[in-house]
Structure 1
Amino acid sequence: MEIQAALILFGIFAVLVTFGVPISFAIGLATTACVTFLMSFDQAIFVVAQRMATGLDSFTLLAIPFFILAGNIMNRGGIARRLIEMAKVIGGQLPGALAHCNVLANMLFGAISGSAVASAAAVGGIMSPLQKKEGYDPAYSAAVNAASCPTGLLIPPSSTLIVYSLISGGTSVATLFVAGYLPGILMGLGVMIVAGIIAARRGYPVIPLPGVKEIIKKTADAFLPLMLIVIIMGGIIGGIFTATEASAVAVVYCLIVACVIYREVKFSELPSIILEAAITSSIVLLLIGCSVGMSWAMAFSDIPYVISEALNNVSENPLIIMLVINLALLVIGTFMDMTPALLIFTPIFLPVATELGMDPVHFGIMMTYNLCIGIITPPVGSALFISCSVGKVAIQDIIKPMLPFYAAVISILMLVTFIPEISLFLPRVILGYGG
């Protein structure tokens, strides 16, 4: 029964996705077919709809549309340009200075906007012409931009970690946010090391050290955007507000900075910004609702148990099992976008990981990091395609320059997987987490 249900669920889902059906509808239809097999069509319609509604009835999920709106406001508010100028001050003296600036700006802007694609477009759009002017290989520049833009999905505030919190059964958002810092920073440093080695071999120039006045000015210009992270994380860690309330605070702060202080977003533009955020939010929330229904169908038919048994039959060694899970997620990430992959496969792999003694926070960071790699790999790597587009590079020309960056980020993934303290050290020290 379990195997038949799994074949129906994943088989129909795969067929629908192959024929171009939107992934939310593919998940919903496959779930309905699976539940119909287990019950009846009338019951399936009622149960799936009920589970979708119940899954979306969550206070935590309110943070997603607010953070999306805050990110959209910041994207229009000249934030990327200011962060790039600050990044030049920090990384300008390293070999391949502009490449390091690209990485640092992606880490900062990605954390503020919460979107790897937005970061790749905003930062890459500014950095690519500058690097080309200095004699950088366009394929190298696009590869640096692509490899570093996912760091903001780990460095909080991160909507992806909010989604994991919901689907994992209520793992603390604050703990996940704090746990994402070190892995996200390590990912950025890994990209910088590879970029620096290549830049040194090719003799790419450094940026002359600016004067003290210019350093102060550039730092002051980036102060207000960076304060958003301080306010959000400080408020969450200090217990002043929850992650959901922090998202509303972020919107108010972004409005003040972008519309009143910088004046780069006009009040007349707000309706279109809000509409864009509403459309994006509706897509994400529909996906979450359908995925919650699929998660229930899998649990009801004992599919996670069957997969757990299959993994245990592969090996009794926990290290081997974690390697298999990572390999599976890497393959999945190349064909499926990050959010649906997180929603579908967390209920499958999390029970296996916890049975092996892995902390849910550690597993969430590992899984998020793993799927970050998927958005910079073909054939569905949205951030990779955006980086190629803004860098004016053909997709076939960027694959070879990406290989050393893939090696770096996957090596750090292994460290994150097998050294739990990389994810859990800060939560233990800052929050007193005892997981």
Structure 2
Amino acid sequence: MIDPFTLSMVLIAALALSGLSVGLAMMSGSFLYLIMMDMRMPRGFDPSIATEQLLQGLYNGYTLLAIPLFILAADIMNVGSLADRLLRFCQALVGRFRGGLGHVNVVSSVIFSGMSGSAVADAVGMGKIIIGLMTRDGKYTPAYAAAITAATATVGPIIPPSIPMVLYALVSDQSVGYLFAAGMLPGLLMALSMGIMNYIIAVRRGFPVDEAVPARELPRVTREAFPALMLPVILLGGIYGGIMTPTEAAAVAAAYALIISVVLYRSVSLASFWGTLKAGSKSAGSIGILIAGSITFNYVITRENVPNDLAAFMNGFDLSPTGFLIAINVLLLLLGCVLEGGAIILIVIPILIPTVQAMGIDLVHFGVIAVVNAMLGLITPPYGLLLFIVSNVTNQPVGRIIREVWPFIIALLVALGIITFVPDFVLWFPRLLGYQG
């Protein structure tokens, strides 16, 4: 007789490969497992426990409310004029260097990441505008503009606020605030690595030096962008100052973005705001289905004792913590080629956490490693969600964009190596805020 767990895994894989949402695929496979186990063990198995676990997971997940609110804040900023003002500010800062618009792309992603927490929001919002600037008058090839935009968007979920960090906090029971803090320096390191790579490529290919913004224009450009630049300050200051929880900060971010877009910049109409609400609801709903599916499936893998079996399997190799982290990086990078980042965090990471704890690896440090790997998966073929997004924006074949994105993947892998093997670099800021790990 076929093992229920094996059959459920086959069903999940088949449904996901056929195009069904990963969340719905996990629900279907989990329901099949529960039905088969109930038929096989009518008196020794209670499927209602899975329902109870699902409801408790959602009910106790107060922090999850931050996700739709961060999505709403990012969507409001995209339909308003905040992105335009931020780009002009970035152009004034770094546009004068060789490959200037590439540097603008990097810096704008760093600033926008402090507002949205989403790589997709960064690529869709700021990405459309910066790609248009880079390709105007043939300064940069569309494929290169698309590649650097996809690569820099990966910084969005590393620098706080971060939707993937919220998901990791859900499965690891770690502080969202400390996870946000741990992502600060790694995110800046990733941006620096891509800035250096952009400069190297710009010198080799002879990319232009853009006209410098006159010094007399800097105060005006800064003043116009200042309200938008204050959003990350308000968010992080509120969280680390103990004034707001991450969920409350997400609500403040959405309200602040709406107020400055409507009242100050007057760039959001009622119709565009309604469209933003609908788009944000769809995005939040898809993430909600993924979370519900993962909670249900986590009950299945827990009942099958998969985490403990994996821990015993890894212990059999007698790996050091360093060797284990190398193996995990390889595993997560490979999974990122075929799985969406949220699915990796919600499905794979809970299985690994018992082994991570047994190895004595700090869970906040591991969380940053996991999220960086998941974001790298957004630009690695064949799945590479961000590659398809920028392909649609530029009408460039995905294959051409992949050829241009490889140097940035290499730069990000170097940054990942530092993040992985220098935990003090990752944990410096959280410890400054009182983290004891």
Classify the TM-score, shorter chain. Answer: over 0.9
Q: What does residue 25 of structure 2 align with?
A: 26
- Describe the SS at the equivalent of 2:154: helix
Aligned partner of 2:52 among 50, 53, 58:
50
Structure-2 change in CA distance of 1:266 and 1:375 (3 Å) = same
Alignment of 1:174-189 (within 5 A): 174-189=177-192
1:85 aligned onto 2:88: yes
Aligned partner of 2:286 among 258, 283, 287:
283
- Describe the SS at the equivalent of 2:155: helix
Query: Displacement, 1:338?
Result: 0.9
Cα contact 1:56–1:285 (8 A) shared by 2? no
CA offsets 1:234-282 (integer angstroms, 9 cap, x no match): 0010001111111111121111111111111013433332222222212
Distance 1:248 1:44 in 2: 39
- Return the letter of the residue paired with 2:30: T
CA offsets 1:171-190 (integer angstroms, 9 cap, x no match): 10110111111111111111
Query: Displacement, 1:344?
Result: 0.2
CA offsets 1:380-418 (integer angstroms, 9 cap, x no match): 211111122223321111222222111111111111111
Query: Displacement, 1:5?
Result: 6.0
- Describe the SS at the equivalent of 2:96: coil
Q: What does residue 409 of structure 2 align with?
A: 406
- Return the letter of the residue paired with 1:51: Q
Aligned partner of 2:163 among 134, 159, 165:
159
Distance 1:40 1:216 in 2: 72
**TM-score, scaled relative to structure 1:** 0.94
Where in structure 1 are there 5+ consecutive unaligned residues? Answer: none
Count of matched residue positions in the alignment of Structure 1 and Structure 2: 432
- Return the letter of the residue paired with 1:155: I
Q: Which moved more, 1:419-428 or 1:135-144?
A: 135-144
Cα contact 2:85–2:224 (8 A) shared by 1? yes
- Describe the SS at the equivalent of 2:57: helix
Distance 1:229 1:90 in 2: 18
Cα contact 1:109–1:119 (8 A) shared by 2? yes
Cα contact 1:236–1:242 (8 A) shared by 2? yes
Query: Displacement, 1:37?
Result: 4.5
- Return the letter of the residue paired with 1:256: I
Cα contact 2:372–2:416 (8 A) shared by 1? yes
Query: Displacement, 1:433?
Result: 0.7
Q: What does residue 131 of structure 2 align with?
A: 128
**TM-score, scaled relative to structure 2:** 0.94
CA offsets 1:96-155 (integer angstroms, 9 cap, x no match): 001110111122223312221221122232222322225222222221111111101111
Query: Displacement, 1:321?
Result: 1.6
Distance 2:354 2:98 in 1: 45
Where in structure 2 are there 5+ consecutive unaligned residues? Answer: none
CA offsets 1:276-334 (integer angstroms, 9 cap, x no match): 22222122112111111111221222101111222222342222221111111111111
1:139 aligned onto 2:143: yes
Percent sequence identity is 36
Alignment of 1:33-72 (within 5 A): 33-40=32-39, 46-57=48-59, 58-72=61-75
Structure-2 change in CA distance of 1:419 and 1:4 (3 Å) = farther
Q: What does residue 433 of structure 1 align with?
A: 435
Cα contact 1:52–1:292 (8 A) shared by 2? yes
- Describe the SS at the equivalent of 1:264: coil
- Return the letter of the residue paired with 1:391: T
Alignment of 1:18-417 (within 5 A): 18-40=17-39, 46-57=48-59, 58-132=61-135, 133-169=137-173, 171-417=174-420
Distance 2:3 2:185 in 1: 42
CA offsets 1:314-373 (integer angstroms, 9 cap, x no match): 342222221111111111111111111110011111221121111111011100000100
CA RMSD of aligned residues (A): 2.0
